[in-house]
Structure 1
Amino acid sequence: MVLGKRLQDLRERAGLSYEEAGRALDVTHATIRRMERAEVGLKLPYVEKLLNTYGITAPEEIGGFLALAREANRPGWWHSFRDVLPDWFSAFVSLEGEAAIIRAYEPHYVPGLLQTPAYAHAVLRAGQPNAPAEEIERLVDLRTERQALLDRDASPLLWVVVDETVLRRPIGGREVMHEQITALMEATERPNVRLQVMPFAAGPHPAMYGPFHIFRFQLQELPDIAYTESLVGGAYFDDRDDVSAFLEALDRMSAQASPAQSTKAILDGMRKEI
Structure 2
Amino acid sequence: MSNSPLVPTVRRRQLGKALRGLRNTAGLTLDGAAETMGWKGPKLSKIENATQSLRPAELAGLLTVYGVSDPEVSTALDSLAKDAGKRGWWQTYGGVLSPAYADYISLETDAESIRIYSPGLIPGLLQSAAYARETIAAIAMTRTPEEVTALAEVRQARQAVLSRTGRPPLELWAIIPEAVLHQRFAVRPAIMREQLQRLLDAAELPNVTIQVMPLEATLHPGTIGGFNLIGFPGPLPDVVQLENLLGSSYVEDADGVKLHAAAFERIQAAALPPEDSLALIARMEEGTRK
TM-score normalised by the chain length of structure 2: 0.79
1:235 is matched with which residue: 238, 249, 253? 249
**Percent identity over paired residues:** 34
Provide the rounded CA distance (Å) in 2 between the counterparts of 1:213 and 1:18. Answer: 34
Quick check: 1:216 aligned with 2:231?
A: yes
Quick check: 1:80 aligned with 2:92?
A: yes
Does the residue aligned with 1:218 lie in a helix, a strand or coil? coil
CA spacing shift, 1:209–1:49, aligned 2, 3 Å? same
Provide the rounded CA distance (Å) in 1 between the counterparts of 2:144 and 2:124. Answer: 21
Quick check: 1:104 aligned with 2:119?
A: no
Per-residue CA deviation, residues 36-83 of structure 1 (Å, 9 max, x unaligned), is: xxxx45143994797499489xxxxxxx99985445444222222221
CA spacing shift, 1:92–1:65, aligned 2, 3 Å? closer
TM-score normalised by the chain length of structure 1: 0.83
- Quick one: which amino acid aligns to residue 33 of structure 1? E
Instruction: After superposing the two structures, state which structure 1 stretch, 3-12 or 121-130, moved more.
Output: 3-12
Q: Paired residue for 2:70?
A: none
Provide the rounded CA distance (Å) in 2 between the counterparts of 1:250 and 1:52. Answer: 35
Provide the rounded CA distance (Å) in 2 between the counterparts of 1:263 and 1:211. Answer: 19
Provide the rounded CA distance (Å) in 1 between the counterparts of 2:107 and 2:33. Answer: 28
Q: Paired residue for 1:60?
A: none
Count matched residues.
262
- Quick one: which amino acid aligns to residue 82 of structure 1? G
CA spacing shift, 1:240–1:67, aligned 2, 3 Å? closer
Within a 5 Å distance, the mapping from 1:172-251 to structure 2 comes to 173-219=188-234, 221-251=235-265
Provide the rounded CA distance (Å) in 2 between the counterparts of 1:189 and 1:206. Answer: 28
Per-residue CA deviation, residues 237-266 of structure 1 (Å, 9 max, x unaligned), is: 122211111111111111111110122210
Q: Paired residue for 2:7?
A: none
2:49 is matched with which residue: 29, 34, 37? 34
Contact 1:103 1:158 (8 Å CA) reproduced: yes
Does the residue aligned with 2:138 lie in a helix, a strand or coil? helix
- Quick one: which amino acid aligns to residue 256 of structure 1? A
Quick check: 1:163 aligned with 2:177?
A: yes
Contact 1:25 1:50 (8 Å CA) reproduced: no
Question: Cα distance, 1:22 vs. partner?
Answer: 6.4
Provide the rounded CA distance (Å) in 1 between the counterparts of 2:66 and 2:112. Answer: 33
Contact 2:111 2:170 (8 Å CA) reproduced: yes
Higher percent of residues as helix:
1
2:144 is matched with which residue: 99, 117, 132? 132
Quick check: 1:252 aligned with 2:263?
A: no
Question: Could you list the runs of 5+ residues in structure 2 that have no partner in the other structure?
Answer: 1-10, 68-74
Question: Cα distance, 1:218 vs. partner?
Answer: 1.6
Per-residue CA deviation, residues 163-195 of structure 1 (Å, 9 max, x unaligned), is: 112101224631111111111111111111100
Q: Paired residue for 1:152?
A: 164
Per-residue CA deviation, residues 216-252 of structure 1 (Å, 9 max, x unaligned), is: 1221x21121111121021111222111111111111
Q: Paired residue for 1:44?
A: 55
Does the residue aligned with 1:162 lie in a helix, a strand or coil? strand
CA spacing shift, 1:83–1:21, aligned 2, 3 Å? farther
